[in-house]
Structure 1
Amino acid sequence: MTSLRARAVTGGILWAVAIIVLGLAGVSSYVTSQTQARFIEVLETRHSQAIVAVSNNSDSANDLVRAIGDLVYQVPFSGQYWQVETDTGAIYASPSLDEERLPRPFGLSQERQRREFTGPNGEPVFAIGQWVPVRNGAMWYVQVASSLRSFEEDQAVLRNTLLTAFTFVSFVGVLGALTQVAVVLQPLNKLRQDVSGRWEQEDGLEVASYPVEVAPLVNDINTLMDRNRDIMRRSRRQAADLAHAIKTPSAIMRNELENLKIEGMDVQDAVDALDRLDAQLKRSFARMRADGTDATVGVATELDTALGRMERAFNALARNEGKIFKATYAKGLRVRMDQSDFEEVTGNLLDNALKWAASEVRLDVAETADGQIMLTIADDGPGIPKEEIAKATQSGQRLDTSMPGTGLGLAIAHDLIHAYGGKILLSKDDRLGGLAIHMRLPFASAKRSD
């Protein structure tokens, strides 16, 4: 599944990285060119100063060391050098060269010569040299040189500084992209939460509370929900009408069979078949009602009301049979299930438990840690063997024919509960020793809208 958040974050990060890399390359290139130009400018200034010193001291060449007296020329192998060569081959050099000498000039051109070579101590050196006339008409070659090692070190420091700055900018950019994505997607997150909340409310989504870009989608969702609501309501009505239409012929057939039985005819097989037909139809109609329920628009059952009514009814039924019925449930619980469906499922299961119980039936209701409602119906009857539990919720599976019934009670309960997003599990009850039916149903947290 493609994530809008992932796509937006990835695109934003890639775009930020591209801009930062291009910016870093551009700034680094610009600063490097400016630094190089500054390096050459300083060297040219020193060359001009050397030419002036030579012109003023050509009559006494021994004074050149004092005339070009910059301290950087006094330290051996400082990286800053000068050298003067006369047209007769005499050489005067800065103390920084020690015993080393710079390369000799090419030709006698008075144009400035720029060249790079390996200087003292094997370090790269950039030099500027020029033949200049002196007072006696002779030509002297004045040359100054500067080590490129310091320039390269300065460049490395500059690159590291720029890299640190752009790394920080990258971090801020990525953080900004994440923040922007979160802000942009917030209306979609709100929409998802609001759509989920339609389980608890009947009203549509408020279009005005969303950005104009999302508003058309909200309108479409409202239309779809209204249409879906209408379809489900019509489906429920059709199921109810069909059930009512079949009840009358079934009742007539049952009366005719009863009359035939009174007359002495053996119609038990036909009665059993009609019972199973009624049960199958009941199950089908129950599924149709559940599939067409208003579950998406806030159906809910107040357990205080539904269970209170059942507690009174089954207390009386249990007393009539000499058995005990106990119900334990907290006040204020609500399940997301139609009340008629809830009462049908719970009533059938309690009736089945009372039929099979030896002496006691218990109903316990509690809220689970994950916010669901757990209903447990347990009895002290024979229970169901483990290998038979799977059959108990299947259509038409009667595990014991010694008791009257169709074998579809658990199957109908299973279908209805699953239709509402719940689960039903069967096990042996540790306390009473009989069958325990656990029904996990969605919790309805909000009051239904009027």
Structure 2
Amino acid sequence: MAARAAIATGFVLAGFLGLVGLTLSQANKQRALSALHDRLQNFAIAYITNTEVNRYGNKLLPPSADTLPDPNFLHPGSGLYAVAVGDYGYHWESSSAVGRDFSFLKPLEPGQSLFVGPVDTRMGRLYYYSYGVALDTDEKGKSVRLTMTVAQTEYQFEDQNAVFRHSLVIWLSILGVMLIVLQLLLLRWSLTPLRKVASDMSRVESGDSEQLDSQYPLELTGLTERINAFITSEREQRTRYRHTLADLAHSLKTPLAVIRSQLESTTGDEPARRSSVLDQVRRMNELVAYQLSRAATSGRQTFASAVPIAGHAEDLVQSLEKVYATKNVLCEFDIEDGAVFYGEQGDLLELMGNLLENAFKWAGHRVLLVVKMRPQPGRQRPGLSLSVEDDGPGIAAEKIEKVLQRGVRGDERVQGHGIGLSIVQDIVHAYQGELVVDRSPEFGGARFSVSLAAS
């Protein structure tokens, strides 16, 4: 990227400096032409000032040598010439113009001036300035016309421009190199944050860092935040895929236990047992579909429908009472009228099912399910408070964090997979809620409280 930017900038800079050089060269040429015009004009006026008319008014007297405006007019072939033509066949040439052919010059009317060049002549290419004037004589109303021409060869003019162009090329080249070096330094400095992002990404790929955690400029903050969000989402997705089979096995455990209980039972009529088994098979099928979909997506949804809680709670408790029939557990409800869960029905069943099953497993004889809605001003959907309490041995404060870990059971002697509470934590986390484990003030056993914020 830096190399491409440097090459592109180099071409643009070369074109720009070339255009600047051409513009400055043309401007200098115009300035030099203007200066040449003024210079030749001044020479012509100086000659005219020193040219006189004799007292009879019939002859022009040339300027004396000591009044010449430039000594080059004295040196033959110097490239600077002066020629005057006038009435009465007057013709005068400076010493430098002796033997030169100026037959191409034309006399001008008084007051006329002409600056021409470069023109091709036998002496080479010339720039010349001609000025027509009428010199007064002693006789009143009589004047003598004179045309004074001062010429300079082109090579002198071009030599001056060549020196300027040479200096201009050198300085523009130096400036171009300096600008390219400065641009490379600025480019390297400006790309430092991107190189930092690339370096941090390499650290994330190698496992040395969890996320892009450096300080970045404001322009890159949005990019790095989205990269971090993508990294987090990808890791959570991978974790969900890894846990799906374990969660699925755990979810199927209760229906399988009910089926086994019904098949092993020798009491009750056959149609009832068949209906119960079919209900559990149907629930197993729903669990498989739910877990597979949960592996891909999970969490709070903006347009989630309201799922009634009371009916599903009753169905879950009926299934658990069959599994733990020998314990004769009494499950009490304190569910607010109209209590609903805004999310996937499968998430609600997993959440309540795992909490209730855990309570049935550890309870002595009593379990309490409490569900309350928590409206909040300014929010369209109320929050939800759900708690499950039991009269079992409870969980010591120092063991709570360990029990919530995946694959850890509160008592290794008790049958289970140790991932039920972990599933609860995943669901609560996905819905941006909070799970608190403490001791039940009424029963003395464990109390699991879930709080989901209003939205």
TM-score using structure 2 length = 0.48
TM-score using structure 1 length = 0.48
- Indicate the structure (1 or 2) with the bigger Cα radius of gyration: 2
Between 1 and 2, higher relative CO (CA 8 Å, sep ≥ 6) is seen in 1
